[in-house]
Structure 1
Amino acid sequence: MIAVLNRLVDLVEQHLTGELDVTVTARQLGTTEYHLRRVFSSLAGMPLSEYVRRRRMTVAAAEVVRGEDDLLTIAVRHGYGSTEAFGRAFRAVHGAGPGDVRRHGGPLRTQPQLRFRLTVEGNIPMDTRIVERPAFRLAGHAARVPLLHRGVNPHIQQHIAGLPPEEHGRLKALGNTEPDGLLQVTDDIDPDSAEGNELTYLHGVAVSEDTAVPEDLDAIGVPAGRWAVFRTAGPHPRALQETWAATATEWFPSNPWRLRPGPSIVAVLERADDFSTATCELWLPVEPA
């Protein structure tokens, strides 16, 4: 996977003044656009689209400073139909418009070309199992919330706190299949995984496909397929978030599996009364790479 990501970076460089078809590129690299975007954003700390924009504006800035072409020519070369649209994108990256940069030589915020490397430590084994599951459904209470990569998500906390205490018992009684217990489900995640983008969060349980779901509950259909299940234990949510990050940096590059579209599920197996520590299972939908 590391070689695939580095080849993707090379292709981005070749298409800075054109359009890179990520769907076709992923297929040529032997993977899927969904997996490619998810792993890239996890390792790079930014969406692929943001990296392309920053690299494009880095190259464009050098052309602006050189002053060999007018701003409209540079804008068109980099895929913008007007100097106004180009100026907005340029300012978003550099903090100043192209006219100011041409006059003063800056300020400039350069995005270096990325290069991915895999460092294998091997001292922290990941407790993982591969599970094949028939189709099932996730039933519970859903809300649209922004994606946050670190710390407790206050929007999710607020959503759960707004549920009546007896509702947790009702949901537990409804659940009848794996993953067991009350579940934290994230769905409709943009493949770029940009922080701040909205996703669907569902607080609920897993039920068999033929189980009747009460009309006052939301339901997410989950097709049959394989899942990678990662067991985590320790300070919550830090241990869970560190394991989630390690799936991209360690597990997927070292194993013949890739992410497939579908919800990500966290099952809380044990927890302290104040939720300061917890033992969890992270379920990620996968397919052979």
Structure 2
Amino acid sequence: MDWLQRMNLAIEYIEDNLEHEINYEQIARIALCSVYQFQRMFSFVLEMPLSEYIRRRRLTLAAFDLQDRKNKVTDIALKYGYETPESFSRAFQNLHGLTPTAARQAGRPLKAYPRLSFQIILKGVAEMNYRIEEREAFQVFGLEDIYGMDNIANQDGITIPEVWQNISKNGEFDRLFHSLAGDWRAEGHFGKELGEVFAFDSYRFTSNTTFPYLIGCYKSAGSKIDGYTVIDVPASTWAVFSTLNDGNGSGNYDLRSLKNRIFSEWLQTSKYTIMDGGNFEMYCTHQGGDEYCELWYRIEEKKE
């Protein structure tokens, strides 16, 4: 069974259970991947979280149900997983722009989000350059927090871009920088273009709706790690993709588009599958001065 079939079967399961509890573990089993991998693949390819797709589909069907005045708002709310009419009304109004009661009136504008279907689309006109690296186990250290997959924010509501801004202002970034010791690039067998501070995420399971994210550095023999989280990175094969390939430098790279192409094009035609256990965003500076990013994914060959 190929990727396209698995994804459509997963969507079929979701659609069949919009009126019931949707089991993310079952979705992952159908798609032959982990819950985290399915959610990440879904969001990169469709550019929306899985939970948002489910919410839109349920509220689309709820709007249809409201056209029949025999259906009570309370019953419709319960049918699509809302514990109270008030929570259903808030969600409905956020999506459709009017209350469920107002939606019963003829002529009122409503939004409909159709069922998703994965289809083959001819892509690949633009080349994708990548490299495969084999690396022994090593360690990284840094500032760790847990983020929600839907809003990419921590428990305080602070998003990852905001965290980067905050540590640049409060001195934490500089403290990380000065925690490095010796010729860490040579010790870690990294190129001279790699920046001192990078991001490492999803290296351990936290829950089906969250992921860990670490802003940190390579741990060399003399690194000052007091107060930081230390993470073991297992010996792995890595697929490395660079934003230099899109012709943009000096930090003007588009990671979302690159991730979309990795999951919708490269991954579907290569002999590899992406593994759980951590992904890097490596921030680099080309010898000509352009800033760019490399995305590192742990991979293994697909099993027949």
Shorter chain as denominator, the TM-score bin is: 0.7 to 0.9
Aligned residue number for residue 105 of structure 2: 103
The answer to whether the Cα contact below 8 Å between 1:179 and 1:206 also exists between their aligned partners in 2 is no
Cα deviations by residue, 1:69-109 (Å, 9 ceiling, x for unpaired) = 11122222222333223222222322222112123553422
Superposed CA deviations along residues 145-193 of structure 1, whole A, max 9, x for unmatched, are: 8749xxx946424424535768636526363315554242142599999
Which residue number in structure 2 is paired with residue 228 of structure 1? 239
- CA shift in 2, pair 1:50/1:113, >3 Å: same
Which residue in the other structure is 2:217 paired with? 204
Counterpart position of 1:171: 180
- The more displaced of 233-242 and 10-19 is 233-242
Residue matched to 1:261: 276
Once residues 192 and 55 of structure 1 are traced to their aligned partners in structure 2, the CA distance between those partners, rounded to angstroms, is 24
**Aligned counterparts of 1:188 and 1:15: Cα–Cα separation in 2:** 28
Are 1:281 and 2:294 counterparts? yes
Per mean C-alpha deviation after superposition, the further-off stretch among 153-162 and 10-19 is 153-162
Q: Which moved more, 1:133-142 or 1:157-166?
A: 157-166
Q: What SS does the corresponding residue of 1:220 show, helix, strand or coil? A: strand
Contact 1:147 1:199 in 2 (8 A): no
Considering Cα pairs closer than 8 Å and 6+ residues apart, tell me whether 1 or 2 has the greater RCO: 1
Matched residue type, 1:228:
A
- Unaligned 5+ runs, structure 1: none
Write the distance in 2 (CA, Å) between the matches of 1:287 and 1:132.
11
The answer to whether the Cα contact below 8 Å between 2:180 and 2:219 also exists between their aligned partners in 1 is no
One-letter identity of the residue aligned with 2:77: A
Could you say what the CA RMSD is over the residues aligned between the two structures, in angstroms? 3.6
Contact 2:11 2:117 survives alignment (8 Å): yes
Match of 1:246 in 2: 261
**CA contact 1:172–1:205 (8 Å) conserved in 2:** no
Shift of residue 261, structure 1, vs aligned partner: 2.9
Aligned residues: 280
Q: Is the 8 A contact 2:181 2:220 kept in 1?
A: no
Please report how far the alpha carbon of residue 201 of structure 1 lies from its aligned counterpart in structure 2 after TM superposition. Answer: 4.2
Alignment of 1:87-236 (within 5 A): 87-104=89-106, 106-141=108-143, 147=152, 153=161, 155-160=163-168, 162-163=171-172, 168=177, 170-171=179-180, 173=182, 175=184, 176-179=187-190, 181=194, 182-188=196-202, 200-207=213-220, 214-233=225-244, 234-236=248-250
Report the equivalent of 2:49.
47
Structure 2 CA distance, aligned partners of 1:174 and 1:207? 8
Residue identity over aligned pairs, in percent, reads 26
Deviation at 1:49, TM superposition (A): 0.9
Unaligned runs of 5+ in 2: 154-159
| Misfit runs of 4+, over 6 Å | 143-146, 189-194
Measure, in 2, the Cα distance between the counterparts of 1:191 and 1:245: 24
C-alpha distance 279-45 of structure 1, shift in aligned 2 (>3 A):
closer
Deviation of 1:247 after TM superposition, in Å, equals 1.0
- Structure 1 length-normalised TM: 0.79
Contact 1:47 1:193 in 2 (8 A): no
